[in-house]
């Protein structure tokens, strides 16, 4: 104010407010820049989220359909059982029990039926190489479907039926438009003559995309069209169930002790620091622990959900403990004091009054811990859950793999068909994770109490 009061002589030194006014434009520009930069960072982050999900979905949605080829299959009794007339007269056959024995039916060469049908459909094909290329239209796994049919109903023998057979992954990719037809033939996995056959089948309506049930009912396979996530899902289920059974009581007990009973001394301080640090130990180190302690020292069988769940338990414990302690902390002391005042013992106070109020919060933390366990891969590689397992595991002691490891294994496979299946498996995994996190949010909203 003093400055303003004094007369300004011509172009004398500028006053403070002149300085401020002169710099305002620059400062406001800086302000706008800073703000725009911040908004840009948020938008960029959101773009990453959208890009990631968009990429996975656009790569994977096609895997929920699978190409099938319709062929008239003749269940040639002579070929399958070695008895009865050759060819198909569509008349009921009388075959001996010996011919219909399970052994003979399951060992029969069903591939020949498919090959014969293919040759009949394309009579012009000749020469060994060309025939082989023709046979490759149908998946090598298709014969198992025929075997199942015959084993279930032996009256099929001698009948001719129009059946939809699983197409090979190359055909599948071609039909889905993921193989570029304009590329020179040498750079394509599928050759011109095969494309011509596929087009001919398509013209007669013998190629169709159907919902891919194989993907949900089969275990791993070297053939993309026969590969499914059922085995991995079962493995994940057993592993996660055991992890929950082990970690929830342990975490709740630990939280209860540290929060409510433990004296404040060096030992409990040490435990606390330990838990906080364990939460940040890289997951792969837990894998090393599992390998050295559980497998090599205690002799827990490798590759099983049991050893996987032990490792994941140790890994998720800190998360659940920290959440459970927060839940216990949010129960107001007046509850405890009231219970103690009417003569409950400290243990009774906890069990009958504090725990029931804290359980929803603990469950929320547990669900989030389980979600991380479901997505964890690295430590499970160390303890051998990476094995190639075709059979769907039947229990916690069967060798198995889990969904994220299956994704890792498929991502390594060179076949084009595995890319879409990997993405589809990721979509399933993300679906589970989103469901679990939503459950946690709902639980929190529903039971959250403000005291």
- Pick between residue 99 and residue 320 the one whose CB is nearest to another protein: 320
- Pick between residue 196 and residue 351 the one whose CB is nearest to another protein: 351
Min separation Cβ 177 and another protein, Å: 18
Min separation Cβ 119 and another protein, Å: 38
Min separation Cβ 344 and another protein, Å: 11
- Does 134 help bind another protein (rule: CB under 8 A)? no
- Does 285 help bind another protein (rule: CB under 8 A)? yes
- Does 304 help bind another protein (rule: CB under 8 A)? no
Q: How far apart are CA 386 and CA 311, in angstroms?
A: 15
Q: How far apart are CA 244 and CA 238, in angstroms?
A: 10
- Out of 196, 292, 341, 390, which residue is the one contacting another protein (CB under 8 A)? 292
Q: How far apart are CA 5 and CA 3, in angstroms?
A: 5
Name every residue whose Cβ is closer than 8 Å to that of residue 137 and which is 6 or more positions away in sequence: 69, 118, 167, 168, 171, 194, 197, 198, 201
Number of chain residues interacting with another protein (CB under 8 A): 87
Min separation Cβ 190 and another protein, Å: 21
Name every residue whose Cβ is closer than 8 Å to that of residue 276 and which is 6 or more positions away in sequence: 318, 322
- Does 261 help bind another protein (rule: CB under 8 A)? yes
Q: Which DSSP state fits 194?
A: H
| Per-residue mark of binding to another protein, 339-378 (x: CB under 8 A) | ------xxx-----------------------x--xxxxx
Q: How far apart are CA 10 and CA 14, in angstroms?
A: 10
Alpha carbon separation from 113 to 53, 158, 163, 307 (Å, rounded): 43, 12, 12, 45
Min separation Cβ 382 and another protein, Å: 5
Give the residue from 372, 369, 373, 370 showing the smallest Cα distance to 385.
Answer: 373
- Pick between residue 289 and residue 331 the one whose CB is nearest to another protein: 289
Q: How far apart are CA 191 and CA 419, in angstroms?
A: 21
- Does 1 help bind another protein (rule: CB under 8 A)? no
Binding part of the chain for another protein, among 161-169, 200-208, 213-221, 280-288 by CB under 8 A, reads 280-288
- Does 44 help bind another protein (rule: CB under 8 A)? yes
- Out of 437, 439, 443, 444, which residue is the one contacting another protein (CB under 8 A)? 437
Min separation Cβ 440 and another protein, Å: 11
Measured CA angle at 322 (ends 321, 326), to 5 deg: 115
- Does 41 help bind another protein (rule: CB under 8 A)? yes
- Pick between residue 366 and residue 377 the one whose CB is nearest to another protein: 377
Exposure string over 13-24, b if 16+ CB within 10 A, otherwise e: eeeeeeeeeeee
Q: Which of residues 79-118 bind another protein (CB under 8 A)?
A: none
Token readout for 160 is 């001719």
- Does 451 help bind another protein (rule: CB under 8 A)? no
- Pick between residue 97 and residue 180 the one whose CB is nearest to another protein: 180
- Does 329 help bind another protein (rule: CB under 8 A)? no
- Does 31 help bind another protein (rule: CB under 8 A)? yes
- Pick between residue 105 and residue 250 the one whose CB is nearest to another protein: 250
Min separation Cβ 411 and another protein, Å: 5
- Out of 22, 35, 101, 153, which residue is the one contacting another protein (CB under 8 A)? 35
Only one residue has tokens 């007990």, namely: 253
- Does 318 help bind another protein (rule: CB under 8 A)? yes
- Pick between residue 208 and residue 272 the one whose CB is nearest to another protein: 272
Residue 424 and residue 60 in contact, taking contact as beta carbons nearer than 8 Å? yes
Residue 406 and residue 220 in contact, taking contact as beta carbons nearer than 8 Å? yes
Binding part of the chain for another protein, among 2-10, 194-202, 204-212, 289-297 by CB under 8 A, reads 289-297
Residue 89 and residue 105 in contact, taking contact as beta carbons nearer than 8 Å? no
- Out of 278, 335, 357, 439, which residue is the one contacting another protein (CB under 8 A)? 278
Alpha carbon separation from 100 to 76, 104, 114, 327, 401 (Å, rounded): 13, 7, 20, 65, 37
Name every residue whose Cβ is closer than 8 Å to that of residue 100 and which is 6 or more positions away in sequence: 81, 154
Q: Which of residues 390-429 bind another protein (CB under 8 A)?
A: 395, 397, 404-405, 407-408, 411-412, 419, 422-423, 426, 429
Q: How far apart are CA 406 and CA 414, in angstroms?
A: 14
Phi, psi angle pair for 331, to nearest 5°: -80, 125
Min separation Cβ 427 and another protein, Å: 10
Binding part of the chain for another protein, among 36-44, 68-76, 330-338, 353-361 by CB under 8 A, reads 36-44
- Pick between residue 149 and residue 258 the one whose CB is nearest to another protein: 258
- Pick between residue 141 and residue 287 the one whose CB is nearest to another protein: 287
- Does 178 help bind another protein (rule: CB under 8 A)? no
CA atoms within 13 A on the CB side of 23: 9
């Amino acid at each position: 104010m003093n400055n303003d009061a004094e007369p300004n002589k011509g172009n004398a030194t500028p006053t403070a407010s002149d300085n401020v006014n002169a710099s305002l434009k620059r400062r406001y520009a800086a302000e706008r820049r800073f703000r725009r930069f911040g908004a840009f960072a948020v938008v960029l982050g959101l773009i990453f989220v959208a890009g990631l999900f968009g990429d996975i979905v656009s790569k994977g949605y096609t895997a929920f359909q699978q190409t099938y080829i319709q062929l008239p299959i003749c269940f040639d009794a002579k070929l399958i059982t070695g008895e009865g007339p050759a060819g198909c007269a569509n008349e009921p056959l009388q075959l001996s029990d010996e011919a219909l024995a399970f052994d003979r039916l399951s060992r029969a060469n069903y591939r020949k039926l498919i090959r014969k049908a293919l040759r009949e459909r394309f009579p012009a094909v000749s020469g060994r190489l060309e025939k082989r290329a023709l046979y490759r239209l149908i998946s090598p796994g298709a014969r198992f479907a025929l075997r199942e049919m015959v084993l279930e109903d032996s009256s099929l023998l001698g009948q001719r039926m129009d059946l939809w057979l699983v197409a090979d992954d190359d055909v599948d990719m071609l039909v889905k438009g993921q193989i570029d037809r304009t590329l020179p033939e040498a750079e394509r996995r599928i050759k011109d003559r095969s494309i011509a056959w596929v087009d001919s089948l398509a013209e007669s309506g013998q190629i169709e995309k159907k919902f891919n049930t194989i993907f949900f009912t089969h275990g791993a396979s070297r053939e993309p069209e026969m590969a499914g996530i059922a085995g991995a899902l079962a493995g994940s289920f057993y592993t996660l169930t055991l992890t929950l059974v082990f970690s929830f009581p342990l975490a709740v007990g630990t939280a209860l002790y540290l929060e409510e009973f433990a004296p404040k001394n060096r030992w409990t301080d040490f435990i606390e620091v330990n838990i906080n640090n364990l939460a940040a130990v890289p997951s792969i180190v837990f894998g090393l622990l599992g390998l050295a302690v559980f497998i090599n020292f205690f002799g827990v069988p490798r590759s099983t959900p049991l050893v996987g769940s032990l490792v994941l338990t140790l890994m998720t414990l800190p998360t659940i403990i920290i959440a459970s302690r927060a839940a216990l902390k949010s129960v107001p002391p007046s509850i405890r004091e009231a219970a103690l005042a009417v003569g409950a013992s400290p243990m009774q106070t906890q069990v009958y009054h504090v725990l029931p109020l804290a359980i929803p919060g603990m469950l929320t933390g547990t669900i989030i811990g389980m979600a991380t366990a479901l997505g964890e891969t690295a430590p499970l590689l160390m303890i051998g859950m990476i094995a190639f397992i075709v059979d769907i595991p039947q229990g916690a002691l069967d060798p198995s793999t889990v969904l994220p490891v299956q994704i890792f294994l498929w991502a390594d496979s060179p076949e084009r068909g595995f890319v879409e299946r990997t993405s589809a498996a990721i979509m399933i995994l993300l679906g589970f994770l989103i469901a679990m996190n939503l459950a946690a949010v709902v639980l929190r909203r529903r039971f959250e109490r403000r005291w």
